[in-house]
Amino acid sequence: MRTYWIWLFLLCVTWIFALQHASLNTAMMTPRLMGSALFFTAYFISPLLRTKPILLAMNLSLASLVASMVLWPDPLGTANPYTILVLSLIACKAAYRLPPIQAWIVGLVVILSAAAPAATHNPSLPPVYLALHTAMLAAALIAFRSSWQRGEAAEARNEALLSEYRRMKRHLASGEELARQEERAQIGREIHDSVGHKLTALMMQLEVFRMQAEGEAEVRARHLKELARESLEETRSAVKALKSNEPGGLPAIMRLIRQLEADSLIKIHFTVKHGAMSAPLTNEQSIAVYRVVQEALTNIMKHGKSREAEVTFEAPGGSVFRFEISNPSAQADTFREGFGLQSMRERIESNRGRFQVILHHDRFIVSGVLPLNLHMTQGETTR
């Protein structure tokens, strides 16, 4: 866009000087002004024809012919030196915007327009000067186009290499995750086969001892058996968590955000307020938060007007965990909950939480609140 305005500024300045030089005869002012309007009309519609090279070539050719006629020198006057500058700008635009064949056609029309006054024995710049100017301009445009094409090819190669790098990085990350899952499954099997079986055997021996004991010994045996049973339940829970394939926890969410930003897929402003990182979320709650954040960021990448989002975690008062994902919205004032938003709501509400989707000040906000298990917190603290 900036190039367009710079080009327009140069063309307007050159055209004004050219028109002043050619307008010594006031009787020709009206047709010259009408021709100026036609020339700039052709120039202004040229951006609309960028995807249609043939029409754009015809438009620029028409503009060069109109410029030659509008700035045609008076038979008794002098040659107009600014006309060659106007025609040179048209040739530059053709070389910049058109494929080679169409650009050469426009260049030929520009050369004929510049040579027309001399061919009709009207005041004109020396033919040698026109020839040298044409040769130098053509050489400069050929060099520019060659350099530009090399730059485009280099940029395409860089983009292809960057895509391949991102693919390999994702493949490596998925391989590492698979290795971690296999390692967790192996640890879980070892705990189940060793600790779990020994605790079961211990419970059986304690039960036998309790049945044979009396009085204080029987009570202590019952407490020991209960302690062994709790240890077995906690071991089973740990094994279940290790075998689970579901990602979860705030560290997993942070890995997700880092991965998305490393792949340049989205820019995320991540804010963690006091107490959020140490919030005692259950495994199911942390998985629900992870999936909601993942789904919301995916929706932003698919439907957002900009690939930028804000993610905020907080635990106000230590009794609830609150999360919010927001991004600039291109929607008007209404939206409809589709399958993705309904799945997020079900995940949060199945964990006794509240889920909310709102549009506020041109921002699309997905937020939720989950209750924290205060009993577990106190128990862990006491322990």
Indicate the pairing of strand 308-314 with strand 320-328.
antiparallel
- Domain 250-371: top CATH class: alpha beta
Note the pLDDT tens digit of each residue in 7-26. Answer: 888 888 888 888 888 765 67
Q: What is the pLDDT of residue 109?
A: 92
H helical segments located in the chain: 2-22, 29-45, 53-70, 83-97, 100-119, 127-191, 197-212, 216-243, 249-262, 283-303, 339-349, 374-382
Do residues 88 and 7 make contact, with C-beta atoms less than 8 angstroms apart?
Answer: no
Q: What pLDDT is stored for residue 335 in this prediction?
A: 67
Predicted confidence at residue 1, as pLDDT, reads 63
- pLDDT(381) > 50: no
How many CA atoms lie within 13 Å of 230's alpha carbon, on the beta-carbon side?
Answer: 5
Question: Are the beta carbons of 102 and 133 closer than 8 angstroms?
Answer: no
Mean pLDDT of 149-154: 89
Integer Cα distance of 88 and 138 in angstroms: 10
pLDDT for 377 equals 44
Please determine, for residue 58, whether its predicted confidence score (pLDDT) is greater than 90. yes
Q: Poorest-confidence range of 67-76, 172-181, 287-296? A: 172-181
SS (H, E, C) 262-328: HCCCCEEEEEECCCCCCCCCCHHHHHHHHHHHHHHHHHHHHHCCCCEEEEEEECHHHCEEEEEEEEE
What percentage of the chain reaches a pLDDT higher than 70? 89
CA 337 to chain centre: 24
Note the pLDDT tens digit of each residue in 317-344.
Answer: 778 889 999 888 765 556 677 777 888 8
Question: Which of the four pLDDT bands, split at 50, 70 and 90, describes residue 54?
Answer: very high
β-strand pairing of 363-371 with 354-360: antiparallel
Mean pLDDT of the chain: 81
- Chain centre distance of CA 299: 12
pLDDT tier, 264 (very low <50, low <70, confident <90, very high otherwise): low
Asked whether the whole model's pTM tops 0.85, one would answer: no
Instruction: Provide the token pair at 83.
Output: 């006309």
Q: What is the pLDDT of residue 25?
A: 67
48 pLDDT exceeds 80? yes
Of 355 and 74, the one with more pLDDT: 355
Q: Is pLDDT of 364 > 90?
A: no
Q: Is the pLDDT of residue 110 over 70?
A: yes
Domain boundaries, the chain: 1-125, 184-243, 250-371
**Per-residue confidence at 380, pLDDT binned at 50, 70, 90?**
very low
- pLDDT tens-digit profile of 186-241? 777 777 777 777 788 888 888 888 888 888 888 888 888 888 888 888 777 777 76
Residues paired with 324 in a beta bridge = 312, 367
- By CB atoms closer than 10 A (0-12, 13-18, 19+), residue 327 is buried
SS3 353: coil
| pLDDT value of position 50 | 81
pLDDT of residue 244: 60
